[in-house]
Amino acid sequence: MPDKPIEGLRRVFMTGNEVVAWAALAAEADIMYGYPITPQNEVMHYWTRLAPKYGRSFLQTEDEISAGFTTCGGVLAGKRAFTATAGPGNTLMQESITMAEMMRIPIVQVVQQRGGPSTATVIYSQQEVTMTCYGGNGEGLRIVYSTSSHQELFDYTIKAFNVAWQHRFPTCVLGDGYQAKMRESLFIYDPAEKDIEMIKTYPFVGAEGKPGIEREPSHLRNTYNTEEELNDVVNDLIKAYDAVASQVVESQSFSTDDADIVIIAHGVVTRAAQAAVQILREKNIRAGHFRPVTLRPFPAGELKKIARTAKCFVVAESAQGQLRKLVTDAIYGEKVPILDYYKPGKGITAEELVDYISKI
């Protein structure tokens, strides 16, 4: 059996789903649990071809409810486990994500957003933002990375495993159908090549020794008898999450220092926004761009600073205001007006952003 899936650094031309499979392999993921749904299928297709060569496992479950809960089981057994899904599958998976956030189970979920509501299209959207950040009954105590390129899919899939296991919150790599299905060139690498050390995993159940005699049994529950008891547990969780938030929050700013108009966009739309800023600057329009990389926790502090200097925000997203809600909440109290550029389930180009902003 070959030692490492990737030696050193390799330049490749791949689809995003293939990239995710390679990243999980490179990140020493032990097992994937999954259920077919477009546009995520090829994550499984590549994983099932590659995994046995490196002693890794796969289970095709009966649905995404099961995929999420088996992933929880795999993690509880001490393995670096992950799953991937999209759209209605993400909906079904929210039940297990809430269990993971309440019981601090470090599962990794990759989501390739498709058009909604419900089944709609298998192509592309940014309509799973609210659900991926806050789905299920609970407080949304999870970490969500919104990637914008194949390179980022690779980088952040590796990172997601370490962030999940370091902080013990479920962690999601939020891609989309464009990233999943298109080919792009990128570098794939052995994490050691970049001095990334994969965090050692450990079992939450099934450790050695006779429980009750040689060690305490591990009794993991999510059932509480009183309001006070639950409130204490949730308060502790939120405290832990808030402490983690400042360590993991990520954003990027492009020419925002002197910008009058700042485009706020995430995921692949950041690429249109970055290009638009360049074109607008050439036309002597002082445009800038702010990109939250983590949607949860949201980089509110950074955005607030920009809100104090910009004259106008434009929220551009392939959804009807899901990012906008996060933005509004983050900058509450600031006076900057916000314009919306919504195209639910449809891609956004640099040219149309330039057009729109030129007319403001």
Partner 1 sequence: MSVLPKMPASWRLETKPHKFCPGCGHGLILKALGEAIDELNIQDRVVFGCDIGCSLLSWDFFNVDTIQTHHGRTTPVVTGVKRARPDRICIAYMGDGGGYAIGSQHLVNAASRNEKITLILANNCNYGMTGGQMAPTTLPGMKTETTPYGRDVEETGYPAQGPEMVAAITRENAYVARGTVANVRQLKGYIKKALLNQMERKGFSFVEALSGCPTNWSTNAKETWEFIEKTMPKYFSIGEIKTPESKEAK
Query: Coil, strand or helix: which one is 87?
Result: helix
Minimum Å gap between C-beta 1 and partner 1 is: 18
Minimum Å gap between C-beta 316 and partner 1 is: 37
Q: Which two tokens stand for residue 105?
A: 């189970």
Minimum Å gap between C-beta 92 and partner 1 is: 11
User: Kind and range of the H or E element at 294?
Assistant: strand 294-296
Nearest residue (CB) to partner 1, 161 versus 178? 161
Q: How far is CA 286 from CA 3, 124, 277, 355, in A?
A: 52, 30, 8, 14
Nearest residue (CB) to partner 1, 58 versus 342? 58
Within 13 Å and on the Cβ side, how many CA atoms surround 41?
A: 6
Nearest residue (CB) to partner 1, 59 versus 312? 59
Minimum Å gap between C-beta 63 and partner 1 is: 6
Q: Which two tokens stand for residue 172?
A: 């999601």
Report CA torsion sign: 304, 139, 28, 184: negative
Gap between the Cα atoms of 235 and 269, Å rounded = 35
Minimum Å gap between C-beta 320 and partner 1 is: 31
Q: In this structure, are strands 261-264 and 312-317 parallel, antiparallel, or unpaired?
A: parallel
Nearest residue (CB) to partner 1, 105 versus 295? 105
Nearest residue (CB) to partner 1, 16 versus 136? 136
Nearest residue (CB) to partner 1, 211 versus 301? 211
- Could you tell me if 316 and 348 are in contact, meaning their C-beta atoms sit under 8 angstroms apart? yes
Minimum Å gap between C-beta 218 and partner 1 is: 4
On the 0-12 / 13-18 / 19+ scale of CB atoms within 10 A, 234 is middle
Nearest residue (CB) to partner 1, 3 versus 216? 216
| Tokens 């999510």 -> residue | 222
- Could you tell me if 39 and 173 are in contact, meaning their C-beta atoms sit under 8 angstroms apart? no
> Given the rule CB under 8 A, which residues bind partner 1?
30-31, 33, 57, 59, 61-63, 65-66, 69-79, 81, 95-96, 99, 203, 205-214, 217-223
What is the maximal distance between C-alpha atoms in the chain? 75
Nearest residue (CB) to partner 1, 70 versus 146? 70
Minimum Å gap between C-beta 223 and partner 1 is: 5
Gap between the Cα atoms of 253 and 265, Å rounded = 11
Minimum Å gap between C-beta 166 and partner 1 is: 20
Gap between the Cα atoms of 302 and 266, Å rounded = 15
Q: How far is CA 56 from CA 14, 27, 35, 166, 204, in A?
A: 22, 12, 17, 22, 20
Minimum Å gap between C-beta 136 and partner 1 is: 11
Within 13 Å and on the Cβ side, how many CA atoms surround 285?
A: 22
Q: What is the DSSP letter of 279?
A: H
Nearest residue (CB) to partner 1, 212 versus 333? 212
